[in-house]
Amino acid sequence: MKRILFSLLIFLTVQIVYAQQNISVDCTAGPVSSSYCYGNGDTTQFEYVSSDGSPLNLTIDSGLIEAGWDIIRIIDSDGSVLFEGDNGGDLAGLYFQSSGDTITLGFETDASVDCQGGGTYSGGIDWTVACATCVNPVIDYELISDCLNAPQFFVDVNVSDLGSANSLTLSDNQGNNSSVTNTGIVQFGPYPNNTDVQISVANDDDVNCFDNSDILNQGTCALITNTSQFTVDELVTDVLIDSECNQAFNISFSTGTNFGSTNGIGYFEANGSDWPFEDGLIMTTGDVLNAVGPETGVLSDGDFAWPGDTDLENNITGLNVGDTNNASIIEFDFIPISNNISFDFIFAAEEYGFYQCTFTDAFAFLLTDSSGNTTNLAIVPGTNDPISVLTVRDGQYNSSCESVNEEWFGEYYGEGGLPPNTSPTNFIGYTEVMTAQSDVTPYELYSIKLVVADDGDTLFDSAVFIDGGSFDIGQLDLGEDILVSSGNALCEGEEIILNAGTLPENSSIEWFMDGILIEGSNDVNLAVSETAFYSATITVNNTDCTYSDDIIVEFFENPIIIPEETNIIKCANADYTLQVNVENINQLNSLTYIWSLDGVDLQSGENNTYMLSGDQEQSGEFTVTVYDNITYCWSSININVEFYENSYCVDLPQGLSPNGDGFNDCLILDHLEDTEDIEKIEVFNRYGTKIYELNEYVDQWCGHDQDGEIVPVGTYFYIIYFNSTKEPINSWIYVNY
CATH number of the domain bearing residue 11: 2.60.120.290
> Which whole number is the average pLDDT over 416-432?
94
Same domain? 122 vs 178: no
Please report which confidence band the pLDDT of residue 335 belongs to, taking 50, 70 and 90 as the band edges: confident
In this predicted structure, what is the pLDDT of residue 18? 53
pLDDT at 566 over 80: yes
- Given 452, 467, 482, the domain boundary residue is 467
Residues 414 and 527 in one domain: no
- pLDDT reading at 269 higher than 50: yes
Average of per-residue pLDDT values in the chain? 89
The answer, yes or no, to whether residue 733 has pLDDT greater than 70, is: yes
Residue where a domain stops, chosen among 158, 190, 212: 212
Pair 214, 62: CB distance under 8 Å:
yes
- CA 393 remoteness from chain centre: 31
pLDDT exceeds cutoff 80 at 245: no
What are the strands of the beta sheet with 567-572, ordered from one edge? Answer: 567-572, 634-647, 620-628, 591-597, 600-605
Please check whether residues 655 and 671 belong to one and the same domain.
yes
The per-residue b/e assignment along 162-199, b for 16 or more CB within 10 angstroms, e otherwise, is bbebeebebbbeeeeeeebeeeeebebbbbebebebbb
| Length of the chain (residues) | 737
For residues 235 and 295, membership in a common domain is answered with yes
* Contact by Cβ (8 Å): 498, 510: no
Integer Cα distance of 482 and 421 in angstroms: 47
Q: Kindly tell me if the per-residue pLDDT of 467 is higher than 70.
A: yes
CATH code, 537 = 2.60.40
Mean per-residue pLDDT for 127-142? 90
Predicted pLDDT of residue 676 = 55
Residues 278 and 419 in one domain: yes
Strands 224-226 and 561-563: unpaired
Report the pLDDT value the prediction gives residue 1, as an integer from 0 to 100. Answer: 29
Give the tens place of pLDDT for each residue, 60-71: 999 999 988 999
Both 447 and 313 in one domain: the answer is yes
DSSP bridge pairs for 437: 342
Confidence of residue 56 (pLDDT cuts 50, 70, 90): very high
pLDDT exceeds 60 at position 275: yes
pLDDT at 17 > cutoff 70:
no
- Where do the DSSP E strands lie in 198-273? 199-203, 210-212, 224-226, 248-254, 265-269
- pLDDT tens, position by position, 121-134: 988 999 999 998 88
- Which CATH number fits the domain that encloses residue 604? 2.60.40.10
**What is the structure's pLDDT at 656?**
86
For strands 600-605 and 634-647, give the pairing. unpaired
User: Is residue 42 in some structural domain?
Assistant: yes
Task: Tell me whether residue 476 is in a domain.
Answer: no
Query: In terms of domains, do 50 and 161 share one?
Result: no
User: At 648, is the pLDDT very low, low, confident or very high (cuts 50, 70, 90)?
Assistant: low
Say whether both 202 and 230 belong to one domain. Answer: no
Cβ 538 vs Cβ 504: under 8 Å: yes
Q: Residue 73: inside a domain, yes or no?
A: yes
- Residues 390, 400: Cα–Cα separation, whole Å: 12
pLDDT > 90? residue 670: no
Which amino acid is residue 456, in one-letter code?
G
Domain assignment of residue 447, yes or no: yes
The answer to whether residues 55 and 174 belong to one domain is no
Neighbours of 431 (CB within 10 A): 23
Cα–Cα distance, 532 to 446 (Å, whole number): 38
Same domain, 713 and 594: no
How many domains does one find in the chain? 6
Q: Is residue 262 part of a domain?
A: yes
Of 601, 619, 646, which marks where a domain is finished?
Answer: 646
**What percent of the chain lies above the pLDDT cut of 70?**
94
Q: Which domain holds residue 637?
A: 561-646
Residue type at 544?
D
Q: What is the mean pLDDT of residues 573-599?
A: 92
In a domain, 480, yes or no: no
User: Is pLDDT of 13 > 50?
Assistant: no
- Co-location of 567 and 614 in the same domain: yes
Look at residue 607 in the predicted model and tell me its pLDDT. 95
Running DSSP on this structure, what letter comes out for residue 385? P
Report how far residue 237's alpha carbon sits from residue 235's, in angstroms, rounded to the nearest whole number: 6
Closest residue by Cα to residue 283 from 275, 291, 293: 291
Residue 15 has pLDDT above 70, yes or no: no
User: What is the pTM assigned to this prediction?
Assistant: 0.58
| pLDDT tier for residue 672 given thresholds of 50, 70 and 90 | very low
Provide the pLDDT for residue 243.
63
Answer yes or no: is pLDDT of 318 > 80: no
The verdict on residue 687 lying in a domain is: yes
Q: What are the φ and ψ backbone dihedral angles of 676, each rounded to 5 degrees?
A: -60, -15
Tell me if 218 is assigned to some domain: no
pLDDT, position 671: 53
Q: What is the pLDDT of residue 248?
A: 82
CA distance 176 to 330: 51
- The DSSP letter of residue 183 is S
- Phi/psi for 314 (5° steps) reads -80, -20
Mean pLDDT is lowest, of 302-306, 366-370, 525-529, 676-680, for 676-680
Residues 402 and 513 reside in one and the same domain: no
The stretch 487-491 carries a mean pLDDT of 91
